[in-house]
Amino acid sequence: MAYIVVTTRAPFSHERSSGKETVRFSTGGVSTSLRMIVGREGGTWVCWGDGSNDRAYPEEIKDNVRIVRVFIGSRERRGFYEGYSNSTLWPLFHYFRDRLKFSRKNFLTYRKVNQDFLEAIKKVYRPGDTVWIHDYQLALLPGLVRKEFPDAGIIFTWHIPWVTGEFFSMLPESEEILRSICSSSFVTFHTGLYVRNFFDSMDQILGSHDSMKGRAFSIPLGIDYAYYQKKSEGIHKSPFAGDQKAIFSVDRMDYTKGLTERANAIETLLETHPELIGKFVYYMAVSPSRTNVKEYQTFKRDLEMSIGRINGRFSSVSWVPIVYMNKKLSDNLLIAFYRFSQVALITPLFDGLNLVSKEFIASSRDGVLIISKFAGSASQLNGAIKVNPNSRLELAESIHSALNMGAEERRVRLEMMKKEVSRHDSAWWSRRIRDLARKISFPEGGRVVEQH
Ligand code: F6P
């Protein structure tokens, strides 16, 4: 069984500036982990060619993978990517009612781009292939592929949260999207809660979820644990300058990540525990993301104002509480940060899973993880301090406890999480999905058959 993996984000793109060609690797968790999995398993990867020099590489073979690029014009990009994907579906599925934009025009462009992806699949599909579609940008694609290839094995993996039926039904196109997803052979989410919410959406919109019973699964994506473990063990020098304790976080620049709330919690911590002034540094790495979306521009400005205000209030000649890095860190530096930080502060307001928390666990020597209870990975990481990111005080107190936690407690908690993250790694994830793909097919007539 060969896969045709389909994502919007490419594993990497080709850039050209001042006559120089470079390769840029994507930052999101989905393409980063799939890059390793598809590289291991082989197959074809259909993705968006959004690099400035990608048109020179419509197809290429790289490390065992055939990459096929779909090109989207700049007007379509606005309706599809900045518009429906990231100004409608993204805020909807993270419960951001106030940021939601409804636009029929954007939806029609979204449908058109999903059709463009179908055209690319049609060129490479061979009977027997399994089409593995990923995430909210391509939610209409399972339905389109099913129509074209009634016998195809189609897997749909949803990487962000799935909201309650009531919230989802606010979307004018909720039924079309739901019906498309339900035409997959099976669907995977990252937590049981998202599966339950998906069923709830079916109950509310389609009247029942019976047709998806036994075809919707919670299979949380894992990381390449061995890679992080080996790489981190090879790093012997701390990247931090002073002898203060290091708190670290790394995220995409996104309003769902709880970045301003975190900065504010640092302020509360310094107000309520002034003895900590000068005793720690919070290293906040934030990689640029969706920079053409207005909401993201405003969010970045507001975050930077908060950081500036807090640093202005507490800094001295020899100390700054928040070191803010608005860039993508190199892999080596990132893993060094993971390895030598005393505390990782991963507190999104909502997050489908959050692979950073797992990368930290795999790389850390003796760190403490503080995780939002609204991150999908929190349900797997029982050794972490779980927090409600909406409470400044709770967040501040959790940082205080983490900084003061004894060595033995740190060790026990970390060991427990290392076991969990290494057991359920990316190889486990892809194996589970491959096993299901072998068992569940969707033959002619659209009847689901479990093959034993
Ligand atoms: O993990 C969720 C996700 O939305 C991916 O689907 C996406 O590729 C990634 O985050 C980064 O976002 P973007 O593709 O918009 O840069």
Cβ proximity of 57 and 66 under 8 Å:
no
Answer whether 28 contacts ligand 1 (Cβ < 6 A).
Answer: yes
Give the pLDDT confidence of 409-429 residue by residue, as tens digits: 999 999 999 999 999 999 999
CB-based burial, 165-201: b 16+ in 10 Å, e otherwise: bebbbebebbeebbbbbbbbbbbbbbbeebbbbbbbb
The pLDDT value recorded for residue 42 is 81
For residue 97, pLDDT over 90 is answered with: yes
The per-residue pLDDT for range 5-14, each reduced to its tens digit, is 999 999 999 9
- In 3D space, the residue among 311, 304, 364 whose CA is nearest the CA of residue 335 turns out to be 364
| Separation CA 176–CA 190 (nearest Å) | 23
Q: Cα of 400 to ligand 1 centre, how many Å? A: 32
Torsion angle (degrees, nearest 10) of CA 258, 263, 265, 270:
170
What's the CA gap between 198 and 119, in Å, rounded? 28
Q: Is the pLDDT of residue 28 over 90?
A: no
The 10s digit of each residue's pLDDT in 113-135 is 999 999 999 999 999 999 999 99
Model-level pTM?
0.95
Asked if residue 350 lies in contact with residue 247, where contact means CB atoms within 8 angstroms, the answer is no
Q: For ligand 1, atom 14, which residue shows the shortest CA distance?
A: 9
Strand-pairing partners, residue 368, are: 343
| CATH numbers and ranges of domains, the chain | 3-222+428-450 (3.40.50.2000), 225-423 (3.40.50.2000)
Cα separation, 3 vs 223, whole angstroms: 20
pLDDT of residue 451: 42
Query: Of all residues in the chain, what percent carry a pLDDT higher than 70?
Result: 97
Instruction: Give residues with Cβ within 8 angstroms of 291, minimum separation 6.
Output: 253, 297
Q: What is the pLDDT of residue 442?
A: 58
Mean pLDDT estimate for the chain:
95
Cα 30 to averaged position of ligand 1 atoms, centre (Å): 7
- Which of the four pLDDT bands, split at 50, 70 and 90, describes residue 40? confident
pLDDT at 172 over 60: yes
Best residue for ligand 1 mutational test, from 9, 31, 191, 350 (most atoms within 8 Å of Cβ): 9
Neighbours of 388 (CB within 10 A): 14
- Beta carbons within 8 Å of 241's beta carbon, 6+ residues apart: none
Per-residue pLDDT reduced to its tens digit, 229-267: 999 999 999 999 889 999 999 999 999 999 999 999 999
135 lines ligand 1 (CB under 6 A): yes
Q: What is the DSSP letter of 86?
A: I
| pLDDT for position 63 | 82
Per-residue pLDDT averaged across 199-227, rounded? 97
User: Does ligand 1 lie within 6 Å of residue 290's CB atom?
Assistant: yes
Residue 183 has, within 13 A of its CA and on its CB side, a CA count of 23
Looking only at the bridges linking them, the beta strands covering 43-48 and 20-25 are unpaired
Distance, CA of 365 to CA of 306 (rounded, Å)? 31
If you measure from the C-alpha of residue 443 to the centroid of ligand 1, how many angstroms do you get, rounded to a whole number? 32
